[in-house]
Structure 1
């Protein structure tokens, strides 16, 4: 049996409590808020005239800051993941994303594939942010911390090549 090994410092320089949030940019907060609540089903709170905070199913949050001058797409590898329980739910979500693409301003969607230990697809939203809808156990990627080992051979992604994310997997 593989011993559980999680890499961390016993006495880190910074004494932090937890990873609390990330940040996304939005062109128009009202359109973005509508998309997040009505399409993605996220909890949304308006925190200032130029910001929102979002979450779903836990305590980790993402701050969303208005930047109407933002240029370009978020790099695909910087995407945000939204978990579902089954492959069928991924396929159903993909179907809805493609069917309602124009209504919600979705710019691109990849086809679902098996990759990095999950079944998933990506889509680019109205603010040029990438999202991944994927199958995962109930606690998301937390399983990687309990599986044992701290290198790629122990969790199934040793053949992942970040350059392959430019493949022709996109459907407009």
Structure 2
């Protein structure tokens, strides 16, 4: 599909942001449980990434708690198999108190994919799925649906 020439000529989508109430506990959850890479270049923010040029910045909420998010506002992490999704689900249930995990939804199957969602200590939702990168390549190759 051909896209129109954009008004803004940019090179990269560099990052998005989420709120964090407790930087130390959040970092521990992100690295030890989710396996993300973290860099904290300034006191009020830490960057999370897992390969590629795009990052998410955890910005500290001073004097308050992060805002509660709906499940429509989530980040998806991919693992290699349905069995790995199930193992991650068991780990989330087993370590919920240790990492401040607020909610763990049951696994579900749809279109040959297995996934579950959890809400972390900052009210951010995460979906763990066995979706492959090729899924997104095919999605973009198909183009937009008819309006």
TM-score if structure 1 supplies the norm length? 0.77
- The equivalent of 1:26 in structure 2 is 20
Match of 1:132 among 108, 114, 127: 127
Question: Residue by residue, what CA displacement relative to the aligned partner does 1:21-48 show, whole Å, maximum 9, x if unpaired?
Answer: 1111100111111111111111100021
Change (3 A) 1:113 1:12: same
- CA distance in 2: counterparts of 1:103 and 1:123, whole angstroms: 14
- CA distance in 1: counterparts of 2:68 and 2:45, whole angstroms: 19
Root-mean-square deviation (CA, aligned residues, Å) is 1.9
Q: How far is the alpha carbon of 1:125 from its aligned partner?
A: 0.4
Matches within 5 A, 1:110-149: 110-115=105-110, 118-139=113-134, 141-146=136-141, 148-149=142-143
- Number of aligned residues: 145
Change (3 A) 1:140 1:56: farther
- CA distance in 2: counterparts of 1:121 and 1:129, whole angstroms: 14
Matches within 5 A, 1:9-158: 9=4, 11-68=5-62, 69-115=64-110, 118-139=113-134, 141-146=136-141, 148-151=142-145
- CA distance in 2: counterparts of 1:117 and 1:25, whole angstroms: 33
- Consecutive unaligned residues in structure 2, runs of 5 or more: none
Q: Is the 8 A contact 1:85 1:138 kept in 2?
A: no
